Amino acid sequence: MAPQRKTDLTLGDAARAIGVSVDTLRRWDRDGKIRTTRDEHNRRRVPAKEVERLRAAPERHRTGASLSARNRFPGVVTSVESDGVMALVEIQAGPFRVTAAVTRDSVDELGLVEGAHAIATVKATSVMVEASE
């Protein structure tokens, strides 16, 4: 085990600095994409030089820039139904149709209109369910 240095960051601090999730850093560590050390309690620590290296990496090396979701569905907006403060946005992403409930402000800020290109990102905490045929 390499000795911990004062410049080593906790996994959470490193994830925030790089713009990815802690789970992504754990996965990168397992896959050998990032070098980590362990502290006296066997917790992962990330050297500051590794954080600098990853922050300087082109955005394409990060999943979804500041997102770490694996399930991204690029497609075209097929429907936007706004009612009050909420809206339903439907995206046709290849063979998949994704419907998301978002705020009306988000629809306006993102310019989500029928025919616009968009990416639906599905995270485990926000999964939409539809009946299958």
Q: According to the model, what pLDDT value does residue 71 have?
A: 76
CATH architecture, domain defined by 71-122 = Beta Barrel (2.40)
Tell whether the torsion through CA atoms of 63, 18, 60 and 89 is positive or negative: positive
Instruction: Give pLDDT tens digits for 2-52.
Output: 555 667 999 989 988 888 888 889 889 999 989 999 989 999 999 999 998
Q: Going by CATH, does the domain composed of 9-61 fall within 1.20.120.530?
A: no
Band the pLDDT of 61: cuts 50, 70, 90. Answer: very low
Element (H, E) at 14: helix 11-18
Domain boundaries, the chain: 9-61, 71-122
Q: According to the model, what pLDDT value does residue 67 have?
A: 56
Q: Which residue has the higher pLDDT, 67 or 127?
A: 127
Flag the least confident range among 60-64, 67-71, 87-91: 60-64
